[in-house]
Amino acid sequence: MLEKTFDPKTVEPRLYERWEASGAFSPEHALARNPDAEGFSIVIPPPNVTGSLHIGHALNNTLQDVLTRFERMRGKAALWLPGTDHAGIATQMVVERQLAAEGTNISRRDMGREAFVERVWKWKAESSGTIQGQLRRLGASCDWSRERFTLDEGLSAAVRKVFVTLHKQGLIYRDKRLVNWDPQFQTAISDLEVQQKEVDGAYWHFAYPLEDGSGEVVVATTRPETMLGDTAVAVHPDDERYQAMVGKMLAHPITGRRIPVVADDYADPEKGSGAVKITPAHDFNDFQVGKRHGLEMINVMDAWARMAGPIPAEYAGMDRFDARKAIVAKMEELGLLRGIEKVRHMVPHGDRSGVVIEPYLTDQWYVDAKTLAQPAIKAVEDGRTVFEPRNWDKTYFEWMRNIEPWCVSRQLWWGHRIPAWYGPDGAVFVEESEEAARAAARARYGDDRPLTQDEDVLDTWFSSALWPFSTMGWPDETEDLKRFYPTHTLVTGFDIIFFWVARMMMTGLHFMGEVPFRRVFINALVRDASGQKMSKSKGNVMDPLGLIDQYGADALRFTLTAMSGQARDIKLSEQRIEGYRNFGTKLWNAARFCQMNECVRDETFDPAQAKETLNRWIRGETVKTARAVTQGLEACAFDDVANALYRFIWNVFCDWYLELAKPILNGDDEAAKAETRATAAWVLDQCLKLLHPVMPFLTEELWDKTASFGRARDGMLITADWPALPDAWVDPEAEAEIGWLIALIGEVRSIRSEMNVPPSARAPLAVVGAQAATRERLASHRDLILTMGRLSDLREAEAAPAGAVPFVVGEATGALSIAEFIDFAAERARLTKEIGALNGEIDKAARKLSNPDFVARAPEEVIEENRERLAEAEAAKAKLEQALGRLEAVA
């Protein structure tokens, strides 16, 4: 006999081991059975190798697993390729922090490159494996034999090959221009790694005197410290106020440098004074203006963002923000400060370091993204790759059509070192290996010269961009590439459409000549129950492992699947997970019922031959469910899939089929009994199969257990055949008949309850179907109805006088008359409604008060108001509840 409930804790690890040992996770398993099996592949968005599973991963990987398991059951050679990312800047940062925390005062620079990188590898060795273990807990059916890491030798070779090829094609080049410089990490970062944050600042209005003393120009700036690098002031060519000044020279108030007034469209006559100072080495717009006018580019900061270069000695070495104050003070002292205007404005920050980013003039490597983007744009326009939900392609297009060169070099040590070597004369040799670079150098110089390799590494997203083909063995022409590229579906979050999806499209098309995936499913962002983004600082993170411990992996998986529709956000509440845990238990108990009633699988049983109305009906319902689930999975309509399964298993199979089957199973008609047993067992099997992709553990366990009290199975559920049921099995006649019965019984129950007929009151009639035709129809289903709990009352139906009113209530059952009962019901309804509304108030106020953002932003009196409202609502609710209690007591 089955236990009363399913115990995930003991079962899950056992089953996972069995799956893994069976080889079912590898596509070879399917190919062994059918060498012509169609390929199906998904590559995992590689998590940080040293990371651990958060709820977003749980969602993302659940959906990938659902798809993989589904296609595997459909007989495809299904590959879900796992792996991890070295996560350059993030990982290096962690290790640097560790160094700092050790208190030995040894920085990475003190250690030297080799020792530091070794240290990072050590940390990687210690902390890797965590997330793989956690994915196993989730039930992820990845092919671990193909696991990859972005710094593996194979993937590194792919990186070098791509870099060298693009360089030879002129699509990677070295250039001196402004980059986003992170002064804390001492590295360039890409546009995408910059986050604009609104901060308090000011416009300082400064007067720049004309060299000849004939006047002045007023300019405004939010960054006074950069004025040391000014090399011009620009005005709009059509701005009449400044016509006479164009071409004249100004005397820089602090450096004394002579700088010209230039005419340029960039200056907006509407803004400020209409004149703008130009600092080409410290502002992206000014850089362009500087190029147009051939202005000198004066760098006045060093890599730490301290003042440096050709500047007055008093500022040298000063921190940029101290310099800002000093410059403002100086201008005031000179009598040239014309005003200060407080503003809140956007300032760029590093997404990892959190410090203010400086536009900084350096040499970096760039990818010509504009060129690579064209085929990638076309592929989505042509539908060779589709986004799901569709609208995300707009986001993709928007970015791709306005793409800027991608800065791929990073002044870090953890990552793929750039395969470029420099000769003594500065000539660069970009080759896949040092030997090849030497050979190239020899060809140029005629003899061996010392070469030094570029110190920089590549942006971590450079190797991720190759993931769909590098993991399959490229540049070799492997079997895997032939069978599994392009991949079928990419499941990922919208936050990395630019970072990752777009770049995979570019490299995939360029190097493979084909899109890397046919479909991109953008999964939602998981938020907490009140819609807040989960974050450690808010303390509202939900740990997927904890949830798995408590409710089982299946319950978590079902919840995440059920909430993955077209929505962009998922508000995850623990209550919901509990509800789906209960759903699993419900199915478990249905199996238990089948076991108790000897509903054993009968291989000779053909559902097409079922005779009983009830069995013909459930057969059709099963077909419809299989169809809905299959279509839902094909379309990534995960919420529909979960809902169809939930409804069918709970509300159709358990609530109606098994209930209506009871009288047959307890009756004397042996043929009907045998048919019903076989049908019940068959439907249960279909449920297990259809539910398996979403709830693999519970279904696999039941598959095993039902075999133990029935006949042996051919194999595990994970490789069982997906139900492909003929539409002809839907029987409209049976559907109509059982549908009618269900509706009638519902009505009977509802009226009994409304009239307060106690279930124990058997003799007083519940209901009488009055029309002769109705009675006749009812009589034909008497066997099904009689044991429907208290509905045995229906026996009396036949005795009712013909032509009576449709429903008749029997004798009064308590102190209340019908009229009193109605009044009572009305009053009770009113009170419960009010209590409901107050509950809402209480919820709302309580949430506001516990929301850190609200508390931080709202004025004290608003917070107080909410506190009062909460107290008032609670008091009112208590009062109403008392009144309700009194009312009940009277009744």
Partner RNA sequence: GGGCGGAUAGCUCAGCGGUAGAGCGUCUCGUUUACACCGAGAGGGUCGGGGGUUCGAUCCCCUCUCCGCCCACCA
Which secondary-structure segment (H or E) carries 847?
helix 818-850
Q: What does the alpha-carbon distance between residue 7 and residue 180 come to, in Å, rounded to a whole number? A: 53
Report in angstroms how near the CB of residue 227 gets to RNA at its nearest.
10
Instruction: Kindly give, in sequence order, each residue whose CB lies less than 8 Å from that of residue 749, ignoring residues fewer than 6 positions away.
Output: 791
Q: What does the alpha-carbon distance between residue 699 and residue 554 come to, in Å, rounded to a whole number? A: 9
Burial 567-595 (b: 16+ CB within 10 A, else e): eeebebeeebbebbbebbbbbbbbbbbbb
Report in angstroms how near the CB of residue 225 gets to RNA at its nearest.
12
Nearer residue to RNA within complex by CB, 121 or 399 = 399
Report in angstroms how near the CB of residue 531 gets to RNA at its nearest.
6
Phi, psi of 526 (to 5 degrees): -85, 125
Report in angstroms how near the CB of residue 285 gets to RNA at its nearest.
4
Beta bridge partners of 42: 80
User: Pairing state of beta strands 428-430 and 420-422?
Assistant: antiparallel
Cβ–Cβ < 8 Å for 305, 358? yes
ω before 8 within 30° of 0 (cis)?
A: no
DSSP character at residue 303: T
Nearer residue to RNA within complex by CB, 107 or 750 = 750
Nearer residue to RNA within complex by CB, 128 or 285 = 285
ω before 389 within 30° of 0 (cis)?
A: yes
Reduce the DSSP state of residue 357 to 3 states and report it: coil
DSSP character at residue 210: B
Nearer residue to RNA within complex by CB, 155 or 791 = 791
Instruction: Kindly give, in sequence order, each residue whose CB lies less than 8 Å from that of residue 811, ignoring residues fewer than 6 positions away.
Output: 764
Q: What does the alpha-carbon distance between residue 202 and residue 331 come to, in Å, rounded to a whole number? A: 15
Instruction: Kindly give, in sequence order, each residue whose CB lies less than 8 Å from that of residue 137, ignoring residues fewer than 6 positions away.
Output: 12, 16, 545, 548, 553
Cβ–Cβ < 8 Å for 641, 632? yes
Nearer residue to RNA within complex by CB, 569 or 606 = 569
Burial 40-57 (b: 16+ CB within 10 A, else e): bbbbbbbbbbbbebbbbb
Query: Among 603, 622, 582, 588, which residue's Cα sits nearest to residue 706?
Result: 588
Nearer residue to RNA within complex by CB, 27 or 663 = 663
Nearer residue to RNA within complex by CB, 267 or 560 = 267
Report in angstroms how near the CB of residue 380 gets to RNA at its nearest.
15
Cβ–Cβ < 8 Å for 524, 495? no
Nearer residue to RNA within complex by CB, 40 or 392 = 392
Which secondary-structure segment (H or E) carries 207?
strand 194-209
Report in angstroms how near the CB of residue 21 gets to RNA at its nearest.
29
Nearer residue to RNA within complex by CB, 833 or 879 = 833
Q: What does the alpha-carbon distance between residue 233 and residue 224 come to, in Å, rounded to a whole number? A: 14
Q: Is 566 exposed, middle or buried (0-12, 13-18, 19+ CB in 10 A)?
A: middle
Nearer residue to RNA within complex by CB, 73 or 680 = 680
Strand spans (E) along 44-157: 77-81, 83-84, 148-149
Report in angstroms how near the CB of residue 395 gets to RNA at its nearest.
6
Nearer residue to RNA within complex by CB, 586 or 705 = 586
Report in angstroms how near the CB of residue 834 gets to RNA at its nearest.
9
Which position has the token pair 């379309």? 635
> Residue 127: what residue type?
S
Q: What does the alpha-carbon distance between residue 114 and residue 132 come to, in Å, rounded to a whole number? A: 28
Nearer residue to RNA within complex by CB, 107 or 832 = 832
Nearer residue to RNA within complex by CB, 101 or 856 = 856
Report in angstroms how near the CB of residue 720 gets to RNA at its nearest.
23
Q: What does the alpha-carbon distance between residue 357 and residue 377 come to, in Å, rounded to a whole number? A: 30
Nearer residue to RNA within complex by CB, 30 or 63 = 63
| Encoded tokens for 755 | 């009239």
Nearer residue to RNA within complex by CB, 18 or 352 = 352
Report in angstroms how near the CB of residue 36 gets to RNA at its nearest.
38
Residue 506's region, left for phi above 0, alpha for psi from -120 to 50, else beta, is alpha
Report in angstroms how near the CB of residue 381 gets to RNA at its nearest.
16
Report in angstroms how near the CB of residue 326 gets to RNA at its nearest.
18
Q: What is the DSSP string of 423-479?
A: -TTS-EEE-SSHHHHHHHHHHHHSS----EE---EE-HHHHHTTHHHHTTTTTS--H
Q: What does the alpha-carbon distance between residue 473 and residue 155 come to, in Å, rounded to a whole number? A: 8
Cβ–Cβ < 8 Å for 221, 201? no
DSSP character at residue 667: S
Nearer residue to RNA within complex by CB, 419 or 584 = 584
Cβ–Cβ < 8 Å for 124, 94? no
Nearer residue to RNA within complex by CB, 218 or 716 = 218
Q: What does the alpha-carbon distance between residue 71 and residue 718 come to, in Å, rounded to a whole number? A: 11
Report in angstroms how near the CB of residue 815 gets to RNA at its nearest.
13
Beta bridge partners of 345: 199
> Residue 402: what residue type?
N
Report in angstroms how near the CB of residue 360 gets to RNA at its nearest.
16
Report in angstroms how near the CB of residue 217 gets to RNA at its nearest.
11
Q: By 3-state DSSP, what share of the chain in percent is helix, strand and coil, each rounded to 5?
A: 50, 15, 35
Report in angstroms how near the CB of residue 746 gets to RNA at its nearest.
4
Which secondary-structure segment (H or E) carries 644?
helix 638-646
Report in angstroms how near the CB of residue 712 gets to RNA at its nearest.
24
Report in angstroms how near the CB of residue 707 gets to RNA at its nearest.
19
Nearer residue to RNA within complex by CB, 1 or 21 = 1
